[in-house]
A and B are shown apart, each in its own frame.
Chain A
Amino acid sequence: MSDTKDHTKEKTQDHTGDQRSDLWKVVAQREISTQLRSKSFLVSGAVLVLGLVAMVVVLTLTQGHETTYDVAVLDETGTSAVELGDDLADEIDDGTKLEAEQYDDAEAAEAAVRDGDVDAALLPVAGDVGDDSDDSWEVLGDDEVDTTVSGALSSALSTVVTTANADAQGVDLAALSQGAQVQERLLDPDAEDRGLRQVASFVFVLLFYITALGFGMQIAATVTQEKESRVVEILAAALPIRALLWGKVIGTSVLAIGQTVVLALVGVGALLVTGNGDALTILGPAILWYVLFFVIGFVALASFWSVAGSLAGRQQDLQATTAPLQLILFAPYIVAVTAGEGVKTIVSMLPIVSTMMMPSRLAEGDVPLWQLGVAILTTLVAAVLLVRLAARVYERTLLQTGRRISFGEAFRSRSDA
């Protein structure tokens, strides 16, 4: 275009020739930048991050915690008993370790126990002089001895002494104990991780519930705010209502997904820092699935949160118009916490609710791939249908300001009514 003085006309030409298909980006950017500057958004995000870190820390403190007990001994027999006891203790209670510390005499060992330098002492007690048969051993503690430690020490010492005695008597110990071995067979070898898995599964459901509800209410509230402040009429004149809906849905989804990714990273980071890196081999895939399910599940519902917002005339109406959505989120939460295996399996493949149930099931144990496929597919189909339906209803109800519209009315009404 030539350099004309008539600036206004020139701009007008530019306008009509514009590619207007990316208007939703401008809307999405506004949603994002407004939220990132809002205190309540930042505070609630920080609370979630801290809560997650606290959960991992508590988990670490209550299990998989390694404790080493120092045991005072006087001689070779004591040392071998503690070494054997170390294996036994670890078997009885994961993470319990025993370490022998040699002392010169019983008085020194006792003093060490009293001063707390060692946790226990394994000491020979002499019987009547000249009669070995009365000799015995004692586990000495200050005011108490950990039952795992004392059990492991007793059993180890008895093995060590019995072996020595058998040698002295020329008895074949192997022959003596033939057929008396007891082996352990576990029906559920993963049971060791069960605590961790259950906690993780609960955390997934809870996080989805909190995040989806929080961001969903936020979408609804911003839509209602636009109706309440009447800015919606200017928006409706400036861009297609669908572009407005998409901008809102995408902007808020980006925030919600961003927060979810941050939480996932914080969770992984917290596990690594607290020395629970091995838990990642179990939880890692579940976390990735969680993020994937969150994306499609949230987008599927986001458009309906907008509709809930467009039905409300004022902020006070939001509780009523968002109630069905709150129920959709709350029901699987209850199912996840209370239902049995069979119900969970079926519910975890239903659209949208699968986004809460599947990651939770994945955290608890393996899920067949086809079930994951079904869950993703039904949610995707539901997302497409819901977004289309929502766009239609949103277009109809957005400009009806000043009063609450019921869901039934919104689906029935004609756009020009």
Chain B
Amino acid sequence: MLEAHSLTRVFGSTTVLDDVSFTVTPGRFTGFVGANGAGKTTSMRILMGVLAATSGSVTWDGAPITAEVRRTFGYMPEERGLYPRMKLRDQLVFFARLHGLSTSDAGERADGLLGHFGLTDRADDLLDELSLGNQQRVQIAAALVHRPSALVLDEPFSGLDPIAVESMTDLLRTEAADLPLLFSSHQLDLVERLCDDLVVLSGGRVVAAGSVTELRSRGAERYRVVLDGQDAAWLRDVRGLTVDDVDGPTALVTLDTMPPAELVAAAVARGPVLEVARVQQPLSEIFREVSR
């Protein structure tokens, strides 16, 4: 388990991170979201040890993290970077060996990852001869090549087409099945689909954190009621709920004191009902709310 405790980082007179704490649990994908400048990259750099925190600490399985532990992590920095004039396979073998793999083991891993991305026949090409999408694939391969003990990926999906995103998430699901994985992204739909846990940053502070299900069901319970034929306006007169919106036979209501079962009963009592369904709050809405 990877934990950040009260991380604060000050650049000159600007506080970029202010008392940021969160947990990355093994086996769960943790999404890191926030507007530009919210402090995601700074947090990740502090987690990886390439930047020092002004105060606060990072722990690994409850103990203060060491450089040795960090070196077993896989890292994909915001600013992509590999050796532009080095062959793909040589490059992956080099990074694997930097993390302590033997040459033969490193070679096997490099071949395996290149195979997964369909880059086997380009193994001896130079990195800068590849398309940007393929360079991104190699970048993620470089973060995975040494069988990391945790993954910290800054915007791993930016600039990828949907098929490439699919291929990369498949790989992450197999490679990082039981690892702590933290990744930042602007693509909220993607985060919603992939993540188990979420940490939302705004202006250098954590404004929301927890499992995605938890966050989405936070706040009031909202239901959509669709009646057959009749107008739904009568709901306005029912006690214990607030009608947010009515559109002919369809209404959006927030239950204040009424239990959901009573709403169903009340609706059925008035006539035929097509649907009474719980409305999950979309992540984008949560995001908008907490970032306000």
Contact = CB atoms under 8 A, between A and B. Distances in A.
Interface of A: 6-9, 11-12, 14-16, 18, 20, 23, 26-27, 30, 33-34, 225-226, 229-240, 399, 401, 415-416
A238 B71 contact: yes
A15 B149 contact: yes
Interface residue tally on B, bucketed by range: 35 or more
Interchain residue pairs A-B with the least CB separation, the first 5: A230-B81, A231-B81, A12-B149, A15-B72, A230-B79
B84 A229 contact: yes
> Main SS of chain A's interface residues?
helix
Nearest to A27: B98
B32 interface: no
A237 B76 CA distance: 10
18 contacts: A9-B178, A11-B147, A12-B72, A12-B147, A15-B71, A15-B149, A16-B69, A20-B71, A26-B94, A225-B83, A229-B81, A230-B80, A233-B45, A237-B75, A238-B98, A238-B99, A239-B71, A239-B98
Given A8-B147, A235-B98, A399-B50, 10 more contacts: A15-B99, A15-B100, A18-B100, A20-B100, A30-B94, A229-B82, A233-B79, A237-B75, A239-B71, A399-B51
Contacts of A415: 52
A289 to B, nearest CB: 37
Contacts of B68: 15-16, 20
Contacts of B54: 416
B27 to A, nearest CB: 11
B71 A234 contact: no
Contacts of A416: 52, 54
Contacts of A14: 100
Contacts of B97: 26
A16 B82 contact: no
> Main SS of chain B's interface residues?
loop
Contacts of B71: 15, 20, 237-239
Nearest to A222: B83
B120 to A, nearest CB: 22
A6 B179 CA distance: 12
A309 B51 CA distance: 20
Contact of A233 (B50, B146, B149): B50
Contact of B77 (A16, A30, A233): A233
Interface in B37-86: 45, 48-52, 54, 67-73, 75, 77, 79-84, 86
A238 B49 CA distance: 10
Contacts of B77: 230, 233-234, 237
B142 interface: yes
A233 B75 CA distance: 9
B29 interface: no
B81 A237 contact: no
A240 B67 contact: yes
Nearest to A25: B97
Contacts of B75: 233-234, 237-238
A237 B72 contact: no
B59 to A, nearest CB: 15
Contacts of A240: 67
A238 B97 CA distance: 10
Contacts of A23: 98
Given A12-B147, A30-B94, A230-B77, A237 B70 contact: yes
Contacts of A26: 94, 97-98
Given A15-B71, A20-B71, A240-B67, A234 B95 contact: yes
B83 A234 contact: no
Contacts of A33: 90
Contacts of B48: 237
B148 to A, nearest CB: 8
Contacts of A239: 71, 98
